[in-house]
Amino acid sequence: MKKVLFTVALMFGAMVASAQVSVVKEAKAMKKDPAAAAKVLEAALTNPETANDPNTWQLAGDLQKAIYDEENMKLYLPGGQADMPKMNASLLKMFEYYLKCDEVEQAGVANGTVKKAKLRKKNAEALLKVRLNLVNGGVEAFNVNNYEEAQKYFGLFVDVVDAPMFAEQAAALKADTLNSLYANYAAMAAGLRDPKDVESVIRYGNIGKESESEGWRSLMFMAEVYGNKETGDSIKWLETIKEGAQKFPEQDFFVGNIMDYYLQKGMVEDGLAMIDQLLASNEKPYFLYVKGVLLYEKQDYDAAHAALDKLIALGGDLAAEAYAKKGDIYFFPAQKIVEENSALSIDDPKYNANEAKIKEAYEQAKPFYEKAKELEPDNQQIWGQMLLRIYWTLNKAEYEALEKEMGY
């Protein structure tokens, strides 16, 4: 009885294998309708009898190429409109199937079931011709915030250069500036898809940061994942921020972050050394503002005024911030005197002397905050509370008018 059952099992296995071979033959016969043929062939891609044959994957790739070419051709016809999702999906599958074909064929050569690899060169040429079109799929997905799909396209554009199929072309492909350029967008898509996906952001970011024009994007996203409280690495964060500031000083993100770090750590001199180095080659308004802030924190108020005056003379978006910071130079040191007076009796002779100092400082700060308000009336954060305190001390009528204006 067992022998009979075993025989039946063998017969059934042979029937299944034969059926899958028939599926491949049927798909070949339907090549004039590649979409239908591809549907028929799907079962053969998972059955070991046919999935271990490189010709199965070759056919699968050829069918996807035919679908892609058919849609792509429509773009060149007068009034033609391609089904872009269909075209992009077939492009992804073309890469998947031709790469799998190469993997299976090379495995066959290694184990002796395939005498000679014949398909690699043809398939490599076909994929290289359309590799750049992966970017189109990535851009379309990115523009609709589908970052998972965007990462597939941009990531494949980058990853494929490491495929054994492209061993001969790998050096040239990696040296191509487009490789690092689009690695930036793979890193961005990964970070936007999942801010905790450190591995993907760093993998693509390390390639993307070498782009002279767009590398700042990768460094920015690398800094973001390294700065994540749950998955971050503070040492790597600082290294990345420094690298970004050195390579892309025009990007305020890096300079701003590293200056915040220096201020928090009390490393004002380090910050000044770096900002002076940047200013030596680029007298950018933002750098002047940062220098003014650092000098303010150092309590070198004369030098802070000088840096801020230089910024104001240049004009631009940071003028209001510069005026407000000049006001801070007088207002905030006066708060120490206010605090001291709060502990003194009104009858104490020092109290009146302190009040005179406070009023003098407020008179000096007042025109700078008023100018900041004039330039940026909606940016109450840089002048609002300070002016209210000043008006309360110097002129109650102005205080009441400003309080009403601010909606209190």
For residue 268, being part of any structural domain is answered with: no
Structure tokens at 296: 């303010």
Measured CA to CA, the distance from residue 162 to residue 213 in angstroms comes to 23
For residue 208, being part of any structural domain is answered with: yes
Structure tokens at 179: 């490789």
Query: Do 30 and 133 reside in the same domain of the chain?
Result: yes
| Whole-number pLDDT of residue 336 | 95
Of 226, 247, 268, the residue at which a domain comes to its end is 247
* Residue 297: Cβ-neighbour burial (10 angstroms; 0-12, 13-18, 19+): middle
Query: Do 100 and 198 reside in the same domain of the chain?
Result: no
Query: Do 54 and 118 reside in the same domain of the chain?
Result: yes
Measured CA to CA, the distance from residue 365 to residue 384 in angstroms comes to 13
| Whole-number pLDDT of residue 358 | 97
Amino acid at the residue 172? A
pTM above 0.85, yes or no: no
For residue 69, being part of any structural domain is answered with: yes
Which positions ≥6 away from 283 have C-beta within 8 Å?
none
Query: Do 22 and 122 reside in the same domain of the chain?
Result: yes
DSSP state, residue 344: S
Q: What is the pLDDT of residues 50-71, one digit of tens each?
A: 999 999 999 999 999 999 999 9
For residue 344, being part of any structural domain is answered with: no
Q: How many domains does the chain have?
A: 2
For residue 280, being part of any structural domain is answered with: no
| Whole-number pLDDT of residue 229 | 81
Q: Under a CB-based contact definition with an 8 Å cutoff, are residues 49 and 21 in contact?
A: yes
Of 192, 226, 247, the residue at which a domain comes to its end is 247
Query: Do 129 and 17 reside in the same domain of the chain?
Result: yes
Query: Do 121 and 190 reside in the same domain of the chain?
Result: no
Among residues 61, 60, 52, 57, the alpha carbon closest in space to that of 114 is found at: 52
Quote the domain boundaries for residue 100.
12-146
For residue 169, being part of any structural domain is answered with: no
Residues of the chain with pLDDT under 70: 1-21
Query: Do 127 and 237 reside in the same domain of the chain?
Result: no
For residue 375, being part of any structural domain is answered with: no
Query: Do 45 and 97 reside in the same domain of the chain?
Result: yes
For residue 184, being part of any structural domain is answered with: yes
- Provide long-range contacts, Cβ within 8 A and 24+ apart, for 112-118: 114/54
Query: Do 188 and 105 reside in the same domain of the chain?
Result: no
| Whole-number pLDDT of residue 19 | 58
Measured CA to CA, the distance from residue 178 to residue 269 in angstroms comes to 40
| Whole-number pLDDT of residue 231 | 79
Q: Rounded to the nearest 5°, which phi and psi values hold at 248?
A: -130, 65
| Whole-number pLDDT of residue 18 | 54
| Whole-number pLDDT of residue 25 | 83
Of 220, 247, 274, the residue at which a domain comes to its end is 247
Q: What is the pLDDT of residues 262-276, one digit of tens each?
A: 999 999 999 999 999
| Whole-number pLDDT of residue 240 | 96
- The owner of tokens 């701003």 is 256
